[in-house]
Amino acid sequence: MSTSGPANDIAGAFLTIDLDAIAANWRQLQGRTAPAECGAVVKANAYGLGIEHVAPVLWDAGCRTFFVAHIHEGIQLREILPEAGITVLNGLIPGTAPVFLEHKLTPTLNSLDEISNWARLGRMRSGLAGWIHVDTGMSRLGLDEHEAKTLIAEPDRLTGLSPVGLMTHLACADMPDHPTNELQRQAFNSYRQALPMCRTSFANSSGLFLGNEFTSDVSRPGVALYGVNPTAEKTNPMRQVVELHGKILQVRQIDTPRPVGYGSAFEAPEGSVLATVAVGYADGFLRALSGAAVGFIDGMEVPMVGRVSMDTIIFDITAVPERHRKVGQLIELIGPNQPLDAIAGRAGTIGYEILTSLGERYHRHYRTSDSQ
């Protein structure tokens, strides 16, 4: 990567986001769902990667249906993509209907109350789009069994909703053998047979790899677009999107054994060489990585030592050649040697959390084929 130029000189760490890879990932998932439609989940600022950069790239790739969690995320996305279908997953919070109308947002309807409020407005117009969310095994959002039964018995409640959709969300899609997947599939199938007027939306990223029985009219992948492996134990079929490099701020020779970092949690042995790098937990480099992280210098693995501080981490770089043991040298923290899923595993978490924690202090570089 290029690290010259004034912005690069003052930066302590570099986050590179490959927009072409995001587009390629969407096209790959679209290929899995065709002829059905592949949407894109861009909640939480496109999983931390910057919705103002990511959404136009997905639109240009052919994506027309987008999902966000919060209403304000929908409002922001409407400014970026005036023509897109935008669905707000958190539902129709009481009092917010005028905001949905003003910004042409589609609510997910998570209860009979939300359905009745939105359908009433729809009947006063020429119909309003809405996605009915049925809970089939997560106990999180959506109509429970009793509410779904009432809806099936009284389908007139849907009058005014046009087009009307039916969605559910998988709890265990990343565990292909988990029995909940099949139970949710059966429950969703019975609902869609009972409400045949509805378009359907079922699979998230991992759901798209569970088999044809999990397809629907509109799929809702998120994390796989951004490079996280949706296939659990198998080789990651997605292209990597994110690279993170931290800059060495200071190099220290250890002449006699010395404690390192907060809590003196590590003692550096005599003869070791330490490098302090400008990345910390305030940048989303999780403190849980203390004692567990590694970095890479020119492809060589170097262990992080001591605890993660707010602004810095310390690596033992004794083993790397002298020419790399210098201020300004970059250490790869996420990249070809350590993909998102690998660092997530070391932190005891999932790629989702690494992505959505990526800090605001990084020098962000958005890469496309036109701008290497």
The verdict on 309 binding ligand PLP (CB under 6 A) reads no
Q: Which stretch binds ligand PLP (CB under 6 A): 15-23, 222-230, 240-248, 328-336?
A: 222-230
The verdict on 293 binding ligand PLP (CB under 6 A) reads no
The verdict on 351 binding ligand PLP (CB under 6 A) reads no
With respect to ligand PLP, which residue has the nearer C-beta, 128 or 167?
Answer: 167
In whole angstroms, the minimum distance from the beta carbon of 336 to ligand PLP comes to: 23
> Quick one: tokens of 181?
């997947």
In whole angstroms, the minimum distance from the beta carbon of 360 to ligand PLP comes to: 22
The verdict on 202 binding ligand PLP (CB under 6 A) reads no
The strand pair at 65-68 and 40-41 is best described as parallel
| Sign of the dihedral through C-alpha 243, 176, 233, 36 | negative
The verdict on 242 binding ligand PLP (CB under 6 A) reads no
Sequence letter at residue 231: T
The verdict on 40 binding ligand PLP (CB under 6 A) reads no
Which of 121, 127, 142 shows the shortest CA–CA distance to 191?
142
d(CA 372, CA 208): 31
In whole angstroms, the minimum distance from the beta carbon of 222 to ligand PLP comes to: 3
Q: DSSP characters for 255-309? A: SS-EEESGGG-EEEPTT-EEEEES--GGGT--GGGTTT-EEEETTEEEEEES---
| Sign of the dihedral through C-alpha 70, 76, 82, 84 | negative
Rule CB under 6 A: choose which of 74, 122, 137, 222 binds ligand PLP.
222
The verdict on 41 binding ligand PLP (CB under 6 A) reads yes
Which of 120, 119, 92, 121 shows the shortest CA–CA distance to 105?
92
Q: Which stretch binds ligand PLP (CB under 6 A): 28-36, 155-163, 217-225, 343-351?
A: 217-225
* Cβ neighbour number for residue 237 with a 10 Å cutoff: 14
First-to-last C-alpha distance (Å) of the chain: 9
The verdict on 68 binding ligand PLP (CB under 6 A) reads no
Phi (first) and psi of residue 90, to 5 degrees: -70, -10
Phi (first) and psi of residue 176, to 5 degrees: -55, -30
The verdict on 220 binding ligand PLP (CB under 6 A) reads yes
Contacts of 32 (CB under 8 A, 6+ apart): 38, 208, 209
262 catalytic residue (yes or no): yes
Site string for ligand PLP, 162-191 (x = CB under 6 A): -------x----------------------
With respect to ligand PLP, which residue has the nearer C-beta, 221 or 295?
Answer: 221
Query: Out of 149, 234, 262, 326, which one is annotated catalytic?
Result: 262
With respect to ligand PLP, which residue has the nearer C-beta, 71 or 224?
Answer: 224
The verdict on 30 binding ligand PLP (CB under 6 A) reads no
Residues annotated as catalytic (active site), given as ranges: 43, 262
Interface positions with ligand PLP (CB under 6 A): 41, 43, 89, 169, 204-205, 220-224
